[in-house]
Amino acid sequence: MTEAPASRPAFLFLLTLAAYFAAQVGLRVALGGSFEGDEAEMVVLARDWHFTSGSQPPLYNWYQTVFFDLFGVNTLGLVLAKNLMLFATYATMFLALRKPAGDRPAMVGALALGLIPNLAWWAQRTGSHSIALAAMTALTVAAFLALVRRPGLSRYLLLGLAVGLGGLAKPNYWMVPPALILAALSTATYRAAILDRRIWLSAALALGVVAVPYAAMLAEPLATFADTWEFRSGSGAGQAAAMWPEGLRHVAKATLAELIPALLALALALGFGGKAMRRIPVPHPEAALLMRAALIGLGLVALGVVATDVGFFRSRWLLPLFVLGLPPLMMTLFQQASARAWRNFLRGMACLALGILAAIADTRLRGAGSDSLRVDLLAEAIEEAVPDVPPLLGPHYFTGNLLLNRPDWTAFPPFPTSRLEHPTGRVLVIEEKRREGEVIGAMREQGYRGEAPPAPVLSLDVLVPYRFDEGEPRLIGLSLYDFGPGSD
């Protein structure tokens, strides 16, 4: 099956997906509350246009800035951007798989994305750049399948564009192109499409898309490589012993953790899906290509961990490989399923979707979580103590949420700069725990060279309560520093 005309089931499926993500938008707007960490960071970075911002490529920042410009710096502007891109991810995967496999298997494949914890849950709670990563991975899958199915100039250019945009989404996107290329080269059916000279047009276009933003990022190495410490965290970086064995353990644990929901869904399907679900299926060639690419990508990750002696690895860094491999895997496993098993899978995914909506509501309506902290009251306390508020310096959760409540305020970016190398004017530092060295550490990240900060001209503690919790409020420290004449 090479082409799939429009059908009523496909339309209804896409409409249902749209309704779910629209419900997520409506729920977040109705509940309000503070932004989570990565969401608050978007307020700091995407209120205004910046060509590059910190250690992440700029695609999602640009995208979010468009929505803030259109809808304002508020909950609607943030969650509409997020959920529109998530809808595009699922819809793109469905349309990519539908052509070779048909409606039902493609629905299973697209819905399998909802079994990836970092996409189904964390993307809704606090995701930003990882959402762009998932969307660009799905777009790359669609472009790559279209190319190997029927090579043509426009399809080589589309692949190049998809790869270029993926490179602007997140660094770990670069697992995807080599994995797909190696998978195709190892399959006689698809090898010719990769060995075609026009593949260099894809490479040239991708390079053209990323060249200038990457050059701008490399011109700011302090900010661009600020997060590389994570590869060594928690692994005894000060020791002489090799760290890669611990890194491989992290990769293995991350892989298993991300697979748990899919394995549970598969176990239920095998238990209640009848004999047809227990037959060993023969995957469609394009599904086999994607699964092979995911395994190759995982092997490349393992080689990279060993070669660079990485001692730590987060599960979300594997997200592109799960977007690549889980949809065709679930599609294959359900391709011989009975109508009852297929309907039960849809019912199970519908229950999961409702559960996620309920969990999002629950986290915002009760408990002492970061999404329920009354940062608006902290903003009022700051205004009362410091009427002419200078730039804010502190954890981006606080600075972002303060800017959300007071759009005319400013804040230092959440990555290293040289703005305090020659400090002037006043700075208001926000301390979350009043830990020794917290203030000087925050200042040094912005280029401050002094041995210690000057004496604060104002220092106070603010107890910030939660919206629906009677428990102990959070203690936040505020310190105002004056570095002498100059503009803020």
Q: What is the pLDDT of residues 149-160, one digit of tens each?
A: 999 999 999 999
Residue 278 exposure: Cα atoms within 13 Å on the Cβ side = 6
For 141, phi then psi, to 5°, come to -60, -45
How confident is the model over 249-272, as a mean pLDDT? Answer: 83
Q: What is the pLDDT of residues 320-346, one digit of tens each?
A: 999 999 999 999 888 877 788 888 888
Rounded to two decimals, what is the model's pTM?
0.92
Tokens 């991708």 locate to 206
- What pLDDT does residue 265 have? 81
- What pLDDT does residue 139 have? 98
**Amino acid identity at 426:** R
3 or 362, greater pLDDT: 362
Return d(Cα 205, Cα 165) in angstroms, integer.
10
For 482, phi then psi, to 5°, come to -120, 115
Q: Is the sign of the CA dihedral 295, 297, 300, 306 positive or negative? A: negative
484 or 327, greater pLDDT: 327
Residue 233 exposure: Cα atoms within 13 Å on the Cβ side = 7
- What pLDDT does residue 11 have? 93
> CA nearest 139: which of 92, 87, 194?
92
- What pLDDT does residue 268 have? 75
Residue 237 reports pLDDT greater than 60: no
Q: What is the pLDDT of residues 401-414, one digit of tens each?
A: 999 999 999 999 99
| Largest separation between any pair of C-alpha atoms in the chain | 80
**Amino acid identity at 64:** Q
Q: How far is CA 260 from CA 238, 256, 274, 318, 326, in A?
A: 34, 6, 22, 14, 12
- What pLDDT does residue 224 have? 80
- What pLDDT does residue 278 have? 63
Q: What is the pLDDT of residues 56-102, one digit of tens each?
A: 999 999 999 999 999 999 999 999 999 999 999 999 999 999 988 88
- What pLDDT does residue 468 have? 79
Please, what is the average pLDDT of the chain? 89
450 neighbors 483 (Cβ within 8 angstroms): no
Q: What is the pLDDT of residues 37-59, one digit of tens each?
A: 899 999 999 998 888 888 899 99
> CA nearest 418: which of 391, 438, 443?
443
Return d(Cα 112, Cα 334) in angstroms, integer.
11
The count of other CB atoms within 10 Å of the CB of residue 72 is: 12
- What pLDDT does residue 233 have? 62
Annotated domain spans of the chain: 8-364, 370-482
Q: What is the pLDDT of residues 301-310, one digit of tens each?
A: 999 999 988 8
- What pLDDT does residue 79 have? 96
> CA nearest 409: which of 389, 395, 439?
389
Residue 262 reports pLDDT greater than 50: yes
284 or 369, greater pLDDT: 284
